[in-house]
Amino acid sequence: MSEKKLYGIMAEFDTPTELVDAARRVRDAGYTKTDAFSPFPIHEIDEALGIRRSILPFLVFGGGVLGLLTGLGLQYYTHVIDYPIIVGGRPHFSLPAFIPPAYELTILFASFTAVFGMLFLNGLPMPYHPVFNVPRFALASRDKFFLLIERRDPKFEYEETRKFMESLNPQEVFDVEE
Partner 1 sequence: MSYKAPEELKNFQRIALGVGGIGTLALLIGGLISPEMREQALRSWLLGFVFWGGISIGSLGILLLQYLTGGAWGVIIRRIVEASSRTLTLVAVMFIPILLGASTIYEWTHPEKADETLKRILDHRAPYLNLPAWIARAVIYFGLWFLMVYLLNKWSKQMDETGDWKLLKKASQFSGPAMVFFVLLVSFASIDWVMTLDPHFYSTIWGFLFAAGWGLASYAFTIAVLAWLSTREPMNQVIGRRHFHDLGKLLLAFVMVWAYFNFSQFLIIWSGNLPEETFWYLERMEGGWGIIGVILIVFHFAFPFVVLLSRDVKRNARWLASIAIFIIVMRFVDLYYIIGPSPRVTLHGAKLSFSESISWMDFVGPLAVGGLWLWYFFGELQKRPLVPVNDPFLESAIEHGKSH
Least Cα distance to 101 among 142, 67, 51, 58 occurs for: 67
Q: Which helix (H) or strand (E) holds 176?
A: strand 172-177
Question: Applying CB under 8 A, does 47 fall inside the site for partner 1?
Answer: yes
Question: Applying CB under 8 A, does 89 fall inside the site for partner 1?
Answer: yes
Question: Applying CB under 8 A, does 100 fall inside the site for partner 1?
Answer: yes
Asked if residues 142 and 39 have their Cβ atoms less than 8 Å apart, the reply is yes
Question: Applying CB under 8 A, does 46 fall inside the site for partner 1?
Answer: yes
Whole-angstrom distance, CA of residue 17 vs CA of residue 42: 9
Part in contact with partner 1 (CB under 8 A); list of ranges 16-24, 25-33, 87-95, 152-160: 87-95
Asked if residues 167 and 21 have their Cβ atoms less than 8 Å apart, the reply is no
Question: Applying CB under 8 A, does 85 fall inside the site for partner 1?
Answer: no
Question: Applying CB under 8 A, does 118 fall inside the site for partner 1?
Answer: no
Part in contact with partner 1 (CB under 8 A); list of ranges 2-10, 72-80, 88-96, 123-131: 88-96
CB of 96 to partner 1, least distance (A): 5
Whole-angstrom distance, CA of residue 13 vs CA of residue 166: 11
Nearer to partner 1, 43 or 52 (CB): 43
Question: Applying CB under 8 A, does 57 fall inside the site for partner 1?
Answer: yes
Q: What is the DSSP string of 2-67?
A: -SSPEEEEEEEESSHHHHHHHHHHHHHTT--SEEEE-SS--TTHHHHHTPPPPSHHHHHHHHHHHH
CB of 144 to partner 1, least distance (A): 23
Part in contact with partner 1 (CB under 8 A); list of ranges 7-15, 25-33, 92-100, 139-147: 92-100
Whole-angstrom distance, CA of residue 178 vs CA of residue 129: 8
**Size of residue set near partner 1 by CB under 8 A:** 13
Asked if residues 38 and 19 have their Cβ atoms less than 8 Å apart, the reply is yes
Question: Applying CB under 8 A, does 91 fall inside the site for partner 1?
Answer: no
Give the binding site for partner 1 (CB under 8 A). 43-44, 46-47, 57, 61, 88-90, 96-97, 99-100
